Amino acid sequence: MKPRFQFDVHATDGAARTGVIKMQRGEIRTPAFMPVGTAGTVKAMMPENVRSTGADILLGNTYHLMLRPTAERVAKMGGLHKFMNWDRPILTDSGGFQVMSLTDLRKMTEEGVTFQSHIDGKRLLLTPERSMEIQRLLDSDIVMAFDECTPFPATEEVARLSMERSMRWAKRSREGFNSGEEHASRTALFGIVQGSIYEDLRYRSIEALAEIGFDGYAVGGLAVGEGQDMMFKVLDFTMPRMLSDTPRYLMGVGKPDDIVGAVERGIDMFDCVMPTRSGRTGQGFTRRGPINMKNARHKEDGRPIDSGCSCPACRDYSRAYIHHLIRAGEILGAMLLTWHNLQFYQDLMQGLRTAIAAGSLTKHANDFRAEYQSGDIDALAE
Amino acid sequence: MKPRFQFDVHATDGAARTGVIKMQRGEIRTPAFMPVGTAGTVKAMMPENVRSTGADILLGNTYHLMLRPTAERVAKMGGLHKFMNWDRPILTDSGGFQVMSLTDLRKMTEEGVTFQSHIDGKRLLLTPERSMEIQRLLDSDIVMAFDECTPFPATEEVARLSMERSMRWAKRSREGFNSGEEHASRTALFGIVQGSIYEDLRYRSIEALAEIGFDGYAVGGLAVGEGQDMMFKVLDFTMPRMLSDTPRYLMGVGKPDDIVGAVERGIDMFDCVMPTRSGRTGQGFTRRGPINMKNARHKEDGRPIDSGCSCPACRDYSRAYIHHLIRAGEILGAMLLTWHNLQFYQDLMQGLRTAIAAGSLTKHANDFRAEYQSGDIDALAE
């Protein structure tokens, strides 16, 4: 019988670890990168092709789905997996982050957040209980607690009040999640550590969440403008205090070198729109740094983006062709570059997993950084 | 050894026929529908998936490609086939139609057409000789003669002058094509019959072209606003006079019932942006007429667009999901609906080929029309 949620660490290397999360709908190799399927689709990708890049799990956005097509409608259509043709695990966020970043006229109280839909202007209320209900209706595999992503920068006082409210909401999230017994019996709930850049607040948040008890713990409130140095600094003091027998998820991160540094510090899971969003605006990710496919330097370059990459963009097409597609605004340009970027991110994760298992993460990470920072995209095609 | 160009008719049924065109880069089953790859891509489709729908040949637009990335650049990159990853035959139009429909400040003389690029405003001259050169640089398999698509409506006098100029240009096209000896030795050139709705002009055009000699003959100047009745009327008097041992191509057509009626009248080849363009705006084609996926009636419909269709949109997704994607402006909506529409068009052609071979085209066509005009899209999902 498949476990509801089981995290097995197979190897550690410094603070980093590699392993597997076993769930009803499939296994998730860690460290894992979750492509973002905002509105029930990983933009410009067929789900079978997302899978072919090596993705074990997707992220779905509660906020977008609750507005359109609505969680009730997704439930009526048999849940998000059937709706979007993805039968493996899906993690859903709580909706809180997008409510704060995408809506106008929002008002936060102890009860929750009232806001106006950015689609039809309708007035709505999102609470921990409603967030749990929505994620249950979507039939999420990993449900995220409803919290406030503390804005950055925040004074210690503001960060404290925000974190404390998030911890009260975490408790209500746990109760709301548990109340959906059938769903709770086969899925998992993650808590989210807040506390901004303040060591003491982060510790108190970790303790508050541990007391409630979750299947995994996310680090929230980062990748919100604090910069990589500060993000790593927060991870440096936060990670050693987090439980080691549960997965640790860094939300909304990030650039390839962010991910490498966070894995070195013990993070197991990531999500980010960067590979998909960049793919639609002409930016490719490579071992040797970003490549801007709009740039005229590519216009007669018959070489692939990366001769070592197995994606169709690199296998079947030249830089010149992809440059042409992006310049002409062709959908196929977004399709190919998104595919490449997702392949790059999954290859990055596979490289990290292999290095951790081999006990060579430090060398691997240093080599990666040196190559990535070189920016020598010509060498890719050799 | 593969022939340069060989048309074998395997069966006829009334005026209709089915057969195969054999060329260096592959065989084209007729009647054939050519998906349009305007700017070096069939929009929103991977070429291997276009092939998987049953397409034997694509159409490329000389006008778009000459402006971006330019024919010289495509040639430098190894030709259009390599550039866009399609190794089967490609037919290119002459550029004349788009120059007249997409540009401002154009001026036609006996020499050719001067016009301003809609992309960068550059002043350019397109002549029969230059059109042949561009199509050679693209390495087109079936080159179209450079002509004027006579606007509709046109007086007989205007239509005559236009047609006579097109015939002079057809001769210059033949000479220009022949001058590229290596390319001409392995590809084909088609002439285009003009003459608007005037019987006598069409006959004179057919005779003028036959005298020059082409590998195939297109019927031009239709599908320009004259309506299906008038189009069929023109085909009724034009087709019996056209050579029967060469392929007959109806340019820019059309809706599914246009194609069925034209096949009954002896047309062998078609191209149209309709399946791809409609796929990007939410319209699907089905055996039971068009289906508007934006319509709210689909929002909770768990059934596929057409349970009898083998495309991924119908195999893996509900109408509700595709409705959601289209409403949300998601690229995957365009991808899935384009794929479905291309599959529908190729299935339509396969049905016609089978019916002609079986000698049952009249019944097949009548049944098709009755079902198509029913508009009963509910019955599709049964």
Q: What is the pLDDT of residue B118?
A: 86
Q: Are residues B293 and B308 in the same domain?
A: yes
Contacts of B370 (CB under 8 A, 6+ apart): none
pLDDT of residue B101: 86
In chain B, which residues have their Cβ closer than 8 Å to the Cβ of A83?
Answer: 318, 320-321, 324
B199 min Cα distance to partner chain A (Å): 41
In angstroms, the CA A74 to CA B300 distance is 9
Last residue in a domain, options B240, B272, B304:
B272
B256-264 and B331-358 helices, crossing angle to 10°: 20
List the beta bridge partners of residue A250: A219, A270
pLDDT of residue B103: 79
Whole-angstrom distance, CA of residue A206 vs CA of residue A196:
13
B163 vs B192: CA distance, rounded Å: 10
Length of chain A: 382
Q: What is the 3-class SS of chain A, one letter each residue?
A: CCCCEEEEEEEEECCEEEEEEEECCEEEEECEEEEEECCCCCCCCCHHHHHHCCCCCEEECHHHHHHCCCHHHHHHCCCHHHHHCCCCCEEECCCHHHHHHHCCCCEECCCCEEEECCCCCCEEEECHHHHHHHHHHHCCCEEECCCCCCCCCCCHHHHHHHHHHHHHHHHHHHHHHHHCHHHHCCCEEEEEECCCCCHHHHHHHHHHHHHHCCCEEEECCCCCCCHHHHHHHHHHHHHHHCCCCCCEEECCCCCHHHHHHHHHCCCCEEEECHHHHHHHCCEECCCCCCEECCCHHHCCCCCCCCCCCCCHHHHHCCHHHHHHHHHCCCHHHHHHHHHHHHHHHHHHHHHHHHHHHHCCHHHHHHHHHHHHHHCCCCHHHC
> What is d(CA A209, CA A287) in angstroms, rounded to the nearest whole number?
37
Residues B229 and B296 in one domain: no
- The answer to whether residues B156 and B182 touch, using CB atoms and an 8 Å cutoff, is no
Same domain (yes/no): B259, B287: no
Q: Are B307 and B318 in contact (CB under 8 A)?
A: no
ω into A312 cis (within 30 of 0): no
Q: What angle do CA B135, B141, B146 make, to 5 degrees?
A: 40
Are B362 and B213 within one domain?
A: no
Alpha carbons B79 and A165: distance in angstroms, whole number: 63
Q: Is the pLDDT of residue B170 over 90?
A: yes
Q: Could you tell me which chain A residue has the CA closest to the CA of B47? A: A332
Q: Are B324 and A40 in contact (CB under 8 A)?
A: yes
Q: Which residues of B are catalytic?
A: 93, 271
Same domain, B130 and B229: yes
Spatial distance between the Cα atoms of B312 and B335, rounded to a whole number of angstroms: 10
Structure tokens at B173: 């096209």
Q: What percent of chain B has pLDDT over 70?
A: 100
Closest-CA distance of chain A to residue B161, Å: 37
On whether both B149 and B263 belong to a single domain, the answer is: yes
* Least CB–CB distance from A85: residue in B73, B316, B328: B316
pLDDT, residue A381, reads: 84
Q: Side chain identity at B275, as an amino acid letter?
A: P
**Domain end: A272, A304, A325, which one?**
A272
Amino acid at A242: M
CA distances from A87 to A134, A139, A271, A282, B323 (A): 19, 11, 19, 30, 21
Query: How far apart, in whole angstroms, are the C-alpha atoms of residue B195 and residue B150?
Result: 8
Rounded distance, CA A224 to CA A239, Å? 18
Query: Is the per-residue pLDDT at B2 higher than 90?
Result: yes
In the DSSP assignment, the letter for residue B145 is: P
Whole-angstrom distance between the N-terminal and C-terminal Cα of chain B? 48
ipTM of the complex: 0.98
Taking an 8 Å cut-off on Cβ atoms, the answer to whether A77 and B41 are in contact is: no
Note the pLDDT of residue B1: 86
Domain match, B241 and B285 both? no
Q: How far is CA A266 from the centre of its chain?
A: 16
By CB atoms closer than 10 A (0-12, 13-18, 19+), residue A164 is: middle
Q: Do A73 and B300 touch (CB under 8 A)?
A: yes
Q: Supply the pLDDT for residue B149.
A: 92
Report the pLDDT value the prediction gives residue A119, as an integer from 0 to 100: 87
Specify the pTM: 0.98
Domain co-membership, A165 together with A257: yes
Contacts of B73 in chain A (CB under 8 A): 299-300, 320
Same domain for A327 and A285, yes or no, is yes
Query: Does residue A233 share a domain with residue A118?
Result: yes
- Put simply, the answer to whether A317 touches B85 (Cβ < 8 Å) is yes
Domain that holds residue A95: 5-272
Tokens of B64: 């778009």
Question: How does residue B333 score in pLDDT terms, banded at 50, 70 and 90?
Answer: very high
How many helices and strands, by DSSP H and E, does chain B display? Answer: 16, 17
Strands (E), B94-170: 107-108, 113-116, 123-126, 142-144
- Predicted confidence (pLDDT) at residue B78 exceeds the cutoff of 90: yes
Read off the tokens for A22. Answer: 């076993």
Of B43, B68, B324, the CB nearest to A327: B68
- Predicted confidence at residue B150, as pLDDT, reads 93
> Any idea what DSSP says for residue B153?
S
B283 and B377, same domain (yes or no) = yes
The domain boundary, picked from B272, B304, B339, lies at B272
Mean pLDDT value across chain B: 97
C-beta of residue A73 within 8 angstroms of C-beta of residue B323? no
B104 pLDDT higher than 80: no
Number of domains in chain A: 2
φ/ψ (deg, to 5) at A41: -160, 135
pLDDT at residue B382 above 80? no
Helix (H, G, I), strand (E, B) or coil at B193: strand
B254 pLDDT tier (thresholds 50, 70, 90): very high
Token digits for A170? 């975490």
Residues A317 and A249 in one domain: no
Q: Which residues lie across from A142 on neighbouring strands?
A: A91, A188
Residue type, A29: R
Q: Are residues A331 and B334, on separate chains, in Cβ contact within 8 Å? A: yes
**Helices marked H in B213-284:** 228-238, 256-264, 274-280
At B292 the three-state DSSP class reads: strand
User: For residues A219 and A249, is the Cβ–Cβ distance under 8 A?
Assistant: yes
CATH number of residue B131's parent domain: 3.20.20.105
Q: Is A276 within 8 Å of A297 (Cβ atoms)?
A: no
The answer to whether B47 and B339 are in contact (CB under 8 A) is: no
Closest chain B residue to A321 measured between Cα atoms? B83
Residues A321, B44: C-beta atoms closer than 8 Å: no
* Helix axis angle, A256-264 to A361-374, nearest 10°: 160
- For the segment B183-210, the average pLDDT, to the nearest whole number, is 98
Tokens representing B283 are: 């319209």
- As a whole number, mean pLDDT of residues B72-86 equals 98
The tens-digit pLDDT sequence of chain A (382 residues) is 899 999 999 999 999 999 999 999 999 999 999 999 999 999 999 999 999 999 999 999 999 999 999 999 999 999 999 999 999 999 999 999 998 888 777 899 999 999 998 888 899 999 999 999 999 999 999 999 999 999 999 999 999 999 999 999 999 999 999 999 999 999 999 999 999 999 999 999 999 999 999 999 999 999 999 999 999 999 999 999 999 999 999 999 999 999 999 999 999 999 999 999 999 999 999 999 999 999 999 999 999 999 999 999 999 999 999 999 999 999 999 999 999 999 999 999 999 999 999 999 999 999 999 999 999 999 998 7
